[in-house]
Structure 1
Amino acid sequence: KSTIIKAPVAVGLEEKHLKPLHMNDLLHEAKEALSAARDEAKKIVAAAQEERFTRKKHDTSFPLNSIKYCLANQNISIEDIDYITFYEKPLLKFERLLYQHLQGFPKTIKIFIRSMPFWLTHKLRIAKVVKKELGYKKDIIFIEHHMTHAASFLISPFEEAAIVTIDGVGEWTTTTYGVGKGNEIRLIKEIKFPSSLGLLYSTITAYLGFKVNNSEYKVMGLSPYGDMNRKTNIYYEKLRKVLDLKNDGSFRMNMDYFIYQFYDRMPSKKLRKLLGGPTRKFNSEITQRHKDIAAALQMLYEDVFIKILNHAYKETKCKNLVLSGGSALNSVANGKILSNTPFKKIWIQPDPGDGGSSIGGAVFLYNSILGNKRIFELKDASLGPEFSTKEVKNFLNKNKIKYQSFKNNEELVKKVAKLIREGNVMGWFQGRMEWGPRALGNRSILSDACNPKMRDILNLKVKHREKFRPFAPVICEDDVLEYFICDKPVPKPTDFMLMVYPIKKQWWKKIPSVTHVDGSGR
């Protein structure tokens, strides 16, 4: 992924790995973001994922469509861009991969042979690839991966904050914490590969038969169906053996149980033996054992996560927290931060994973490298394309689709509410598309939370996905404390569907389709 910036116009392009690069055979998607300045209000004005244009989920192709959208949004061309920033330093990452291959030789020979041609022709030549694809002739700036995550601070509401980033792996780093103040970001401590909380979660995700770097959230959603008691869940004690956790939140993985540093598969023979059976086959039955393993993983993740945060507070003494990295999508753990740490306020951008690195790279260059003053706070995720009434009507007429027009939004809302109450499932397509992986009310499926059958209807007939998957409640902020046991004031990341809280018990039977098995809602 990469980012483009021009003062006063900045475009952020994130072009993730286009094919498998190393031990995990992970495919990533392509995303792009645009930041622009108009008058005195320098702000991010457009951002979109390539998949939203091609209709291919996690599209790995070069993000030309999203780039074209962002440039067109500001009526500019690629010639107007002064800088492009890339979300990692390829040479530093290549150093790690060579170290892995040499350390693991001859076990790593197959993946070495498969991955090296792509590195030599593409990844190490990414500057030339980007320039060729875009017809771009100016500078490309490479920024360390976790710094692009940490740069979420620069679009937060805080003048000063502790920063914590957690993901699978960047170049070498898997976890960092530090401090952001004004335009400056100072990372104090890091944990390096192969010890990785994100890769631990991905390894168990693979063991449970789900796709790595794509379905970790499914394991999070499955975990409440298991035994969430640390004293009685036998797999919790087993998983504790794979990780040595220190009081300061640092940890070391017992690599006897892992092979992701050498192979393109994740669950090792020793890990399978520890967990008492083979890897679950995709689409096979999910047993109680699988649910208990998911629960054990989530509990272990939260143990490490909370210790990291508490130590970050101890070192920084900042009451504000900015959380970023792919692991910041673990909304169950996020909902426990303010009640289990001294932090008073938290901010997570709408796409804290690698997609958000496109925005992070853009603002890090603009604010921290070029020294421009921070005056922008990202308050909502409505950064994607929108369509005029005329464009919508032309599409409907062209495809001979019957439709009804309304004089105003009030009439439309009343009609939709009536249809929902009658048991219909509505596709809501209004305003600008959301930035990030969550449907936040602009491109959303709406249905009746009070209908006890609706969750199964949506999972099986509309979404075509696993029956255990939960749905998110939509609620006015003023009413949150009536329904939820929630932090006060309600944290901003709830707007981005990034925090899970318990629903008050008296509402469980009244809103069953948005009440998860453990009585929670996201």
Structure 2
Amino acid sequence: MHILGISAFYHDSAAALLVDGKVVAAAQEERFTRIKHDENFPEHAIAYCLEEAGITLDDVDYVAFYDKPFLKFERLLETYLAFAPRGFKSFRVALPIWLKEKLFQKDLLKKKLKRYSPNFDWQNKILFAEHHQSHAASAFYPSPFQDAVVLTMDGVGEWATTSVAIGRGNNLEMVREIHFPHSLGLLYSAFTYYTGFKVNSGEYKVMGLAPYGVPKYVDLIKKNLIDIKDDGSFRLDMRYFDYCTGLTMTNDKFADLFGRPARQKEDAPLEQFHMDIAASVQAITEEIVLKLTRSLAAEFNIPNLCLAGGVALNCVANGKVLRDGAFKNVWVQPASGDAGGALGAAQAAYFHHLGKDREIVDGQDAMSGSYLGPEFSTEEIEARLTSAGAVFETLGDAEVIEKAADALASERAIGWMQGRMEFGPRALGGRSIIADPRSATMQKNLNLKVKYRESFRPFAPSVLAEDVSDWFDIEESSPYMLMVADVTKQKQREMSKEESDLFGIEKLNVPRSEIPAVTHVDYSARIQTVHAETNPRYHALISAFKSRTGCPVLVNTSFNVRGEPIVCTPEDAFKCFMGTELDNLVVGNCFLRKEGQDKSLQLDYKNAFELD
């Protein structure tokens, strides 16, 4: 049985394909169109999924969409009526778009999909899941658990902003919801907007900025903006927010509360104030998430927790949930945002709607390491690189690992494109920029000279799974880079009083451990454990680096510059290589050196894309 899942028309459109319940392909549309967070109908992602399975749409049994447009439209109308006449301007902007494109989405989907299969039975074979049901399904069904509590937290679906489901076998029952406008995701987005970053993409910058600050505004936020109950439920005071009635997230009352207006431009100076604001909303988020998980663990007495929704990408909060121990086991969907809704809709259709049996193999999850996107043969890579004008040598499997490890040990930064592309926002060794974590200047140089983004943003370590506890305070696997833990005390370097007293960003220049390029200012790191079972080539590379240096860790960041989607094809990789100060590019078995390339093909990526 073939089920195609689709998410589209809001942000991060994607497609996913199940064959007899197994995830065989999944990808975001942005990777093909090169439009960051592309919200359009995912025709390229769909085409890829069908091609990967060797089928056409005529072979698909059901198409599942990730939310219910009529319920979203109901929320729009009821919100306007609740706040009228305030908000008429935003309502006037939104209504024509809904009437033209979103309200009648079933007809729109049928029209789009008829191009693939004019005779498909769309009336009976297109299914709609609720938004949070899709998120919950994407978290539970691929998890390694037979039974689990499933917590979904995001901005808003149809009405739900936080929901709880109980998964048992192939059944997933939604048992509790918090409704719009009370939203942890939108609270975080409001502070993202207030600190001058883009909503729906800049939230991770706030998380990265938080360790530079002091959470001095927590009491002010709790006194005025949010009422948090002991069980983690909450209510926002909507007098301070504008997302129900306006075209911005916060209003003048919000600005007056903190004593200054919102930071207007991303390139405006970041002050200690903004760092303290980031630290404060991060602390509030962690408090809510921990209260929720503790109360759910006590109530349901199930040892396993699954997380999804945009808030589940807050890996700092995830790490605290794991260490808190209220749940023995925690699993987070690697594509926790709306892209993962495509997968969840398909899985909800297969397991819940159709009642198909679910199998768990040896306690492993069903995401195949999240390597679910396109891959290219050596012949395809050679032909595509040649057509792009690249100068390269094709090496044997062992030799390419050895040469790449030698380059890394020489502090050369590498664009690394291998195997299938990752599904979700994290690069996991399939489409990564990698480097030596021991270098005291690597983090700053990668940010400013390769990624062309803010210098404060941290990089993640990829570490051999078998060595993780020697370097980080974590015993569990973290294959999807969704858990944060500290570097072990033995590897840390204590900062002097003078170094600790430095202004936030200046702390970047102070090495804090034996692997300073992946150690944040609070000694934390966003960890990816690398497993030989799911990514043998990346595991072999880190092992070769370890044999040269004694260090089983590499810097890993996504293979793109800020504002650009992660690379998908060999051509994308070569363009990014030639537009940045990367030293080497390794695509499959093809090895490239920057100094060997045609200088006329150099690009200027520094200002090629908008800030993300």
The alignment's TM-score, normalised by the length of structure 1, stands at 0.92
Q: Is the 8 Å Cα contact of residues 156 and 347 (structure 1) preserved in structure 2? A: yes
5 Å-filtered alignment, 1:129-140, equals 129-135=108-114, 136=117, 137=120, 138=122, 139-140=125-126
- 2:3 paired residue number: 10
Alignment partner for residue 203 of structure 1, among 190, 199, 216? 190
**C-alpha distance in structure 2 between counterparts of 1:224 and 1:155, whole Å:** 32
The yes-or-no answer on 1:214 pairing with 2:201 is: yes
Among 121, 124, 127, the residue aligned to 1:141:
127
CA distance in 2, matches of 1:134, 1:357: 19
Q: CA deviation at 1:16?
A: 3.3
Equivalence for 1:474: 462
Tell me the number of residue pairs that the alignment of Structure 1 and Structure 2 aligns.
491
Q: Mapping of 1:403-482 within 5 angstroms?
A: 403-408=392-397, 410-482=398-470
User: Mean Cα displacement is larger for which, 245-254 or 214-223?
Assistant: 245-254
Alpha-carbon distance in 1 for matches of 2:129, 2:388: 46
Give the match for residue 236 of structure 1: 218
Deviation of the 1:236 alpha carbon:
1.4
| Secondary structure of the structure 2 residue equivalent to 1:473 | strand
Give how far 1:400 is off.
2.6
Q: What letter is aligned with 1:470?
A: P
* SS of equivalent to 1:342: coil
Match of residue 362 from structure 1: 346
Provide the aligned C-alpha RMSD in A. 1.2
Unaligned runs of 5+ in 2: 361-365, 492-511, 527-612
Q: Per-residue CA shift, 1:397-425, capped at 9, x if unaligned?
A: 222311111122x2111101111121211
| Aligned partner of residue 122 in structure 1, secondary structure | helix
CA contact (8 A) 2:13 2:28 kept: yes
In 1: Cα distance, 2:480 partner to 2:345 partner: 21
More displaced, 384-393 or 341-350? 341-350
1:336 is paired with a residue whose SS is helix
Deviations 1:419-470 (A, max 9, x none): 1121211010110000100000010001111111111111011101111000
Matches within 5 A, 1:392-407: 392-407=381-396
1:378 deviates by 2.4
Report if aligned partners of 1:13, 1:34 keep a CA contact under 8 Å in 2: no
> Whole-Å Cα distance in 2 between the matches of residues 183 and 97 of structure 1?
33
Q: Name the structure 2 match of 1:382.
A: 371
Tell me the SS of whatever aligns to 2:461: coil
Partner of 1:270: 253
Give a deviation string over 1:282-303, Cα, whole Å, max 9, x none.
2100000100000000001101
SS at match of 1:506: helix
Separation in structure 2 between the aligned mates of residue 336 and residue 379 of structure 1, nearest angstrom: 26
1:27-46 superposed matches below 5 A: 28-37=11-20, 42-46=21-25
Residue 285 of structure 2 aligns with which residue?
Answer: 301
Shift of 1:79: 1.5
Residue 369 (structure 1) shift: 0.7
Match of 1:516 in 2: 520
Alignment match, 2:153: 166
In 2 relative to 1, CA 89–332 (structure 1 residues): closer, same or farther, beyond 3 Å?
same
The amino acid across from 1:463 in the alignment is K
What is the alpha-carbon distance in structure 2 between the residues aligned to residue 213 and residue 310 of structure 1? 28
d(CA) in 1 for partners of 2:325 and 2:163?
A: 17
- Is the Cα contact below 8 Å between 2:194 and 2:262 reproduced in 1? yes
Aligned partners of 1:446, 1:339: CA distance in 2, in Å? Answer: 28
Question: Shift of residue 118 of structure 1?
Answer: 1.3
- The answer to whether the aligner puts 1:153 opposite 2:140 as a matched pair is yes
User: Which of 275, 297, 322 is matched with 1:313 structurally?
Assistant: 297
Distance 1:405 1:439 in 2: 24
Residue 314 to residue 509, structure 1, CA distance change in 2 (3 Å): closer
| Contact 2:13 2:338 (8 Å CA) reproduced | no
Deviations 1:349-393 (A, max 9, x none): 110111111110101110011011012622411100000000011
Distance 2:237 2:333 in 1: 32
Q: Deviations over 1:22-69 (max 9, x none)?
A: xxxxxx1211111113xxxx4101011111112221122221111101
CA apart distance, 1:506 = 3.5
Q: In structure 1, how many angstroms separate the alpha carbons of the residues matched to 2:342 and 2:258?
A: 38
How far apart, in 1, do the equivalents of 2:351 and 2:39 lie? Answer: 29
SS at the partner of 1:420? Answer: helix
1:391 partnered with 2:380: yes
Instruction: Give how far 1:15 is off.
Output: 1.3
Paired amino acid for 2:387: K
- Aligned-residue offset at 1:82: 2.3
Greater CA drift, 446-455 or 78-87: 78-87
- Partners in 2 of 1:153 and 1:265 — Cα distance? 34
Query: How many angstroms does 1:106 deviate by?
Result: 2.0
Structure 1: unaligned runs, 5 residues or longer:
1-7, 18-27
**SS across alignment from 2:463:** coil
Aligned AA (2:135): H
Determine if contact 1:150/1:324 at 8 Å carries over to the other structure.
yes
CA contact (8 A) 2:88 2:245 kept: no
Match of 2:273 in 1: 289
Using the alignment, how far apart are the partners of 2:54 and 2:22 within structure 1? 16
The question of whether the paired residues in 1 share the 8 Å contact of 2:3 and 2:64 is answered with no
Letter in 1 for 2:352: S
Trace 1:31-70 onto structure 2 (pairs within 5 A). 31-37=14-20, 42-70=21-49
Mean Cα deviation higher: 250-259 or 465-474: 250-259
Cα pair 2:374 2:421 within 8 Å, conserved: yes
Contact 2:4 / 2:64 at 8 angstroms: preserved in 1?
no
Alignment-mate amino acid for residue 95 of structure 2:
M
How big is the shift at 1:341? 4.1
Deviation at 1:338, TM superposition (A): 2.4
CA distance in 2, matches of 1:423, 1:484: 22
Q: In structure 1, what residue type is equivalent to 2:448?
A: L
Q: Contact 1:178–1:189 (CA<8 Å) still a contact in 2? A: yes
Q: Identify the residue that residue 257 of structure 1 maps to in structure 2.
A: 240
In structure 2, what residue type is equivalent to 1:78? L
1:23 paired residue number: none
Structure-2 separation of matches of 1:399 and 1:188: 54
Equivalent residue, structure 1, for 2:471: 483
Given that residues 16 and 31 in structure 1 are in contact (C-alpha distance below 8 angstroms), is that contact kept between their aligned partners in structure 2?
Answer: no
